[in-house]
Amino acid sequence: MAVFGLLATALGAVGLIAPDTLLTLMGFAPIPEGRRAEKDHTLLFLTASSMAAVNMGAYYLLAALADWKAFFRWTVPFRLLTCAVFTVAVVTGRAPAGFLGVGLWEGLGAVVTGAALRHERRTGRRAQG
């Protein structure tokens, strides 16, 4: 949880400070300043998404510090949903292939979180029994 929170916060900050760098990291070719179409809202969308990532990262970091297991459990189905949405968007051509990495990251995060929670639950029962 803390690692995901730190990465989300850091990548969100990159998107706020240097949006072209984040676009490049995601596999997109940034459009030079002054060459964007008049109603191109890419940077606005990236700013909103990056701010959301900073906030989400902070939530994950705070939940990790508080060892808030209920929050961890809630993230599993929602991260699987995010994985499905981004993967389907790429497969159907609605999103470029760069978004597949986002879907896979979310899916992997959900599986690892679920496995860790299950392991802790089983280990905790043995320690108490």
Look at phi and psi of residue 104 and say left if phi exceeds 0, alpha if psi is from -120 to 50, else beta.
Answer: alpha
Q: What is the pLDDT of residues 58-80, one digit of tens each?
A: 999 999 999 999 999 999 999 99
pTM of the full predicted structure?
Answer: 0.78
Residue 127, pLDDT > 80, answer no
DSSP code of 95?
S
pLDDT confidence bin for 43, thresholds 50/70/90: confident
**What does the domain layout of the chain look like in residue ranges?**
1-67, 69-129
Cβ density class 21-46: b for 16+ within 10 Å, e for less: ebbeeeeeebeeeeeeeeeeeebeeb
Average pLDDT, the chain: 90
| Identity at 62, one-letter amino acid code | L
In which band, very low, low, confident or very high, does the pLDDT at 11 lie, cut at 50, 70 and 90? very high
Per-residue pLDDT band at 101 (split at 50, 70, 90): confident
